[in-house]
Structure 1
């Protein structure tokens, strides 16, 4: 059965060629099939679209009006198909990523660079937020993927761990004596503590671990960024709980010192998450592959 779209394709070709036979050749159809298609369209619309003459065909006034709309629609379909080709082959498009400032700075940048080198025509849109905020934005459809702290207790999200990270305590010169030998968590909680805000996944993970040991914490400072944790510890306002992998510059330069613990806090992960119910775009798939292949 010939679809209405097929009939309009034949209509446009005949209008451009001004000949059934030429249109048939371009469409790889027989001339009777082209003629039959035009007659069927005219019957369905109940209007004559072409004037037939021995020299060929020409559009009627009604046919000319219809051609303006149909040719525009066909052009839009062609453009749409071209866009789909571009998206499929990553020669155009946009990748929307959600990530926090700290993970972006200390982890994500090399992957953004690698992806951009490989697919320079894909634009980035970056949304910043905490892990919980990013999960909410992800569910709203405003981003394709999120790079955030694990673990996440959310069955609607696909979670791919990418890198192990370790929570450690660090201090400045004032508390350097703590570095001499491993200390217990019981001793740690007696010092002025510098932690992230309670809503942070990182803070909750550490706090839950300390609570599991029967200990409570009362931080001296609760801050909104990892970099502030490092700076507050550096100027000796207390000992800060930080991500070791993101604090190496301070530790290696001797600006901060890692406090050894008798019992280390179990490692956790940073990874990629996305909605299980929504298929990833081609750009998102390739970006996740780049991250996975580098570990």
Structure 2
């Protein structure tokens, strides 16, 4: 049986008071508990630590060696504990985040900006990719946290950081641009600009189509692109229509690049999530960021 840290504390009290009964009184335990702790230490070191005397106990030569080193060890442990406590209160280092396009470009920057007002010593490394690759990076421990629009693996802790809906975007001079609303049947007739496989946006659309009895095969896809910005460019230049997040769509519509047309018979509402890895490399910083976003 390996000794616990508390056994060394018991030893120090017994050594300094030269009495098991006095050590027990100071520690608030029974004399039998003190004797048990000392017995475990003696078996562990294979040495007698105390000599029993009529007045109490005296240290042996081996006991004197342990006394000198036990004090140093406990001091190191206490110092480490204090340093860790300070790190929890004032985290530092790097948090690695992978994010899909919408949360990565439109939510995470503002969250980090607010967080760094309070935690100035924590920095961030952010990479933008699709939701599926984000989960792969998290599983391989190449990132600590991901921000995504679709949960591919429910075995990780997650919190909602926003609500979004997908909308139809069309060129300014398109016939659908003149309509206040569109129907799924309208979309099925048009050339469609798709997101790449693995995109959270694409997965939400797939689910919505399936509920209506359709699939992606029913869309007349003319190209697949790897980012929302590239889709916006393609749509604005007349290559087709697409369904993207309302957040970047609004900015592009306000800038006059395209038109937004809601689809009345397709539920395209979704949530955006922050997902935490199980064994982060910088747990203090990760916890502080997680609690900050969560509002704890």
Q: 1:210 to 1:42 in 2, by over 3 A?
A: closer
Farther off after superposition, 163-172 or 254-263: 254-263
How far the C-alpha of 1:46 sits from its partner, in A, is 6.8
Contact kept in structure 1, 2:141 and 2:277, CA below 8 Å? no
The residue aligned with 1:14 is none
Farther off after superposition, 82-91 or 251-260: 82-91
Q: 1:293 to 1:42 in 2, by over 3 A?
A: closer
Contact kept in structure 2, 1:145 and 1:274, CA below 8 Å? yes
Deviation by residue 1:185-244 (Cα, 9 ceiling, x = unmatched): 122122111110122121122133224343612311100111101111111111122111
Provide the rounded CA distance (Å) in 2 between the counterparts of 1:4 and 1:195: 60
Q: Secondary structure at the match of 2:107?
A: helix
What is the total number of aligned residue pairs between the two structures?
Answer: 271
How far the C-alpha of 1:163 sits from its partner, in A, is 1.4
Q: Describe how 1:1-295 pairs up with structure 2 within 5 A.
A: 44=45, 77=77, 80-150=80-150, 152-173=151-172, 175-181=173-179, 182-211=181-210, 212-214=212-214, 216-274=218-276, 281-293=283-295
Q: Secondary structure at the match of 2:286?
A: helix
Q: Unaligned 5+ residue runs, structure 1? A: 12-19, 22-28, 30-39, 48-59
Contact kept in structure 1, 2:249 and 2:260, CA below 8 Å? no
Contact kept in structure 1, 2:102 and 2:247, CA below 8 Å? no
Contact kept in structure 2, 1:102 and 1:225, CA below 8 Å? no
Contact kept in structure 1, 2:97 and 2:124, CA below 8 Å? yes
Q: 1:131 to 1:79 in 2, by over 3 A?
A: farther
Farther off after superposition, 232-241 or 201-210: 201-210
Deviation by residue 1:85-144 (Cα, 9 ceiling, x = unmatched): 123213434433332344222111011011111011223243543212222222333433
Q: Secondary structure at the match of 1:271?
A: strand
Contact kept in structure 1, 2:208 and 2:266, CA below 8 Å? no
Q: 1:129 to 1:250 in 2, by over 3 A?
A: closer
Q: Secondary structure at the match of 1:236?
A: coil
Deviation by residue 1:137-182 (Cα, 9 ceiling, x = unmatched): 22333433221112x2533123322211111111223x43212223
Provide the rounded CA distance (Å) in 2 between the counterparts of 1:239 and 1:4: 67
Provide the rounded CA distance (Å) in 1 between the counterparts of 2:247 and 2:84: 40
How far the C-alpha of 1:273 sits from its partner, in A, is 2.0
Q: Unaligned 5+ residue runs, structure 2? A: 18-25, 27-38, 49-60
Q: 1:134 to 1:262 in 2, by over 3 A?
A: closer
Q: 1:42 to 1:148 in 2, by over 3 A?
A: closer
- Normalized against structure 2, the TM-score is what? 0.69
Farther off after superposition, 185-194 or 153-162: 153-162
